[in-house]
Structure 1
Amino acid sequence: MPRVWEVPVHDSTRVRDVRVAAGAAARHAGLVEERIAAAELVATELATNLLKHAGGGWILLDLVGPPVPAYGDERTARVQIMAVDHGPGMPDTAAALRDGYSTAASLGAGLGTCLRTADDFGLHSTPGRGTVALARIAPRPNPGTTGPHPVPLPVRAGGINIPLAGAEFSGDAWACVRTADRVTLMLADGLGHGPLAARASSAAVETVRCAPHLPPADLLRRLNGALRDTRGAAVAVAQLDVTAGQLHFAGVGNAGARLRRGDTWQGLVSHPGIVGAHLPTRLPQQQQTWTDDCLLVLHSDGLPSRWSPGPAAHDPSPLDPAVIAASIVRDASSPARPVRDDTAVVVLSPCPPDPSS
């Protein structure tokens, strides 16, 4: 089930809580001691930065798959550490990553340490709105493992999953799975909250991992059978055929979806119903052209229906999709009330250009 560790950071006593949570998340992911220590170090640095520069914020730890899907590695868990604040923001994020740069009379090595230690690192800041910092700690590859490496796809996925009121489990879950040149992205919102809702969304994730080759409408029918002994869920499924440049979408319930092409946003329509209980007889699929300037957002109803994409979703720099997702949630919430429900947001975006090419 989607276990999430959420730690509000408003005074120095919570820095230790963040370090403990990071160690627990890393052990839950099965990381070795070296990588556990790395997760604890990065989480501590990000929490300390929240207090020094933003007056506080919150740390969210989650277990996620790799941002660029490959064959069968979606089950390889890595620890995602997200720091989010509503502080003054950074005027120059590139300078903030350089060792020695500080606006708080400190050594100025915190973000640089995170950048060097983490397997993935992302940062976005908007003056007057706040900052999102992301780090992922992955298992070290097994040197004895050999085999063919699939050609990387030019897209990547990332998201954020926040349980209501700091609960241990979120009723929302998402998955991204690759088969050949197709990427299937699914978001499930289990009815209600807590472990029973998480059981429904977790069953949806497992079903998608077993049958990602199915078109979205057929996958929803498969999910309907798999979720019959659960509470059921609202589910959105998007499948991108990279070679054909076509995105197919189908959804049931109040799971939302928006597609950006250039500067224009378009809502993708889900149909009334509950997967696992009341599936519509007809499940038409929408088809959209996918180009290099596209960006797809799937979200649960914890995000207000009139949410604004915000600056991160239009940033010309190659932001990590999870950073975009977290920025969307931050801009739709407030420091006093971060989320109003279990809230998951997942983003599919083009990969940045290869600097070596």
Structure 2
Amino acid sequence: MARVWDIPVQDSTRVRDVRVAVEAASSHVGLDPHRTAVAALVATELATNLVKHARGGRVVIDLVDQPGAVTCAPGVQVTAIDYGPGIRDVTAAIRDGYSTSEASLGAGLGTCMRISSGFDLYSTPRGTVAVARVDQEPAMCRERMRKGPTSGGINVPLGRDDHSGDAWSCARSGTRLTLMLADGLGHGTKAAHASSAAVDELHRRAHLSPEEILRHMHPALRHTRGAAVAVAQVDTDTGELAFAGVGNIGARLHAGDSWGHLISHPGIVGAQFPATVPVRRAPWGQGSLLVLHSDGLPSRWVPPTDPDLLTHDPAVVAATILRDASSAASPVRDDTSVAVLASDPRDGRHDPA
């Protein structure tokens, strides 16, 4: 099931909570003591920065597969989100050895970047989003990476529950890279069972088309509450995106200078599967970017307009979309997940590996 830690960090007393949570997450995925210490150092530094420089924020800790890898064990993803004032000089801040605060551990963002398996951040006066991933064997995973689309996401449970009823995952088979997002009916552990069953089936059926994957998921989810599921698949040989969805998963595709909707078909995977599942197809090339999200995100969220954001790691894009779509006036009423599939990594970005 999708175990998630969502920790508000408004003062220094919560920094310890972040460290304890990331140590628990490391234990869940089987990181050794050294990599666990690395994850704890990175998470503590990011949480400390929230208190010292951003008037607080939140840290979300997810368990994620190595994005785009062929076969790698899951790792720990630490996402720090705040609402300003931003980092004036990002280049200086990520320089190794540059300490962001006299009260910090002296590690600084540059050290976090160096010791993480993957690190990226996006900062404007509106706020900063930083994402770090720590895996057990980053060098081995890097060797197994292939060129092509990359994926990333964020998953936040309702009311800071231990488990989210949403789940997203990415699987590769030959020239096909498939991104899936599932929203189990309701929330909590029973919803998480449904979305987790969808993830398991995706990895068994990644060689199939999106429609066929969904059809195989239907019997696999019959013993659960069922879920809304969307599947997007890029074939790097043909340069084509194929999309199919059942239920209310949102999908937006950025191509050229515009955003367009991809519509799912009504139904519930595992309960009320439609007789036909329409497949939408679109060209996929340099600069293409796909966003999938559950209905925890407001339906009328506004896609990002800053072209620089779209060049960042997909997990940073996903977390920024989640941050900017929410507000105190529109409280979250469900688990919320955002997953992003992006074309080949852009030059100059520090990609998680």
Q: TM-score when scaled to structure 1? A: 0.91
User: Do the aligned partners of residues 69 and 90 (structure 1) sit closer, same or farther apart at CA in structure 2, a change above 3 Å counting?
Assistant: same
Look up the equivalent residue of 2:32 and give its one-letter code.
Answer: V
Give runs of aligned pairs for residues 1-357 of structure 1, distance below 5 A. 1-70=1-70, 72-73=71-72, 76-99=73-96, 109-127=107-125, 129-140=126-137, 152-311=146-305, 314-315=307-308, 318-334=311-327, 339-353=332-346
Aligned counterparts of 1:62 and 1:336: Cα–Cα separation in 2: 26
- Provide the rounded CA distance (Å) in 1 between the counterparts of 2:107 and 2:95: 7
Partner Cα separation in structure 2 for residue 190 and residue 100 of structure 1: 44
Provide the C-alpha distance between the structure 2 equivalents of 1:215 and 1:200, rounded to a whole number of angstroms. 21
8 Å CA contact 2:288, 2:342 repeated in 1? yes
Distance 1:300 1:153 in 2: 28
SS of corresponding position for 1:213: coil
Instruction: Identify the range of structure 1 (175-184 vs 86-95) with the bigger mean alpha-carbon deviation.
Output: 86-95
CA change 1:338–1:119 in 2 (3 A) is farther
How far residue 102 of structure 1 moved from its aligned partner, in angstroms, is 6.5
Summarize the Cα distance change of 1:168–1:351 in structure 2 as closer, same or farther, 3 Å threshold.
same
Q: How much has 1:219 moved relative to structure 2? A: 1.1
CA contact under 8 A between 1:57 and 1:335: conserved in structure 2?
A: no
**Is the Cα contact below 8 Å between 1:69 and 1:176 reproduced in 2?**
no
What residue number does 2:351 align with? none
Task: For residue 140 of structure 1, report the CA deviation from its aligned partner.
Answer: 2.2
Q: Is the 8 A contact 1:330 1:338 kept in 2?
A: no
The Cα of 1:95 is off from its aligned counterpart by 2.0
- Counterpart of 1:323 in structure 2: which amino acid? V
* Consecutive unaligned residues in structure 1, runs of 5 or more: none
Taking a change above 3 Å as real, the CA distance of residues 20 and 316 of structure 1, as seen in their structure-2 partners, is closer
How far has the Cα of 1:97 moved from its partner? Answer: 1.1
Distance 1:248 1:142 in 2: 32
| 1:246-302 deviation digits (Å, cap 9, x = unpaired) | 110000110011110021111001011111111111111111000101001111001
Structure 1 contact 298–346 (Cα < 8 Å) conserved:
yes
Q: Distance in 2 between matches of 1:82 and 1:353?
A: 21
Give the deviation of 1:153 after TM superposition: 2.8
* Rounded Cα–Cα distance in structure 2 between residues aligned with 1:338 and 1:131: 21
TM-score w.r.t. structure 2 length?
0.92
1:115, 1:248 → 2: CA distance?
Answer: 34
Identity of aligned residues (%): 58
The aligned amino acid for 1:212 is A
Aligned length: 346
- Output the CA distance in 2 between the equivalents of 1:114 and 1:339: 31
Shift of 1:126: 1.7
CA deviation string 1:213-246 (max 9, x = no partner): 1111111111111101100000000111011001
CA contact (8 A) 2:117 2:138 kept: no
Q: Which amino acid aligns with 1:194?
A: G
The change in CA–CA distance for 1:89 and 1:336 in structure 2 (over 3 A counts) is farther
CA separation of 1:103 and 1:311: change in aligned 2, threshold 3 A: farther
CA distance in 1, matches of 2:329, 2:95: 32
Please identify, of 316-325 and 24-33, the stretch whose mean Cα deviation from structure 2 is larger: 316-325
1:40, 1:336 → 2: CA distance? Answer: 34
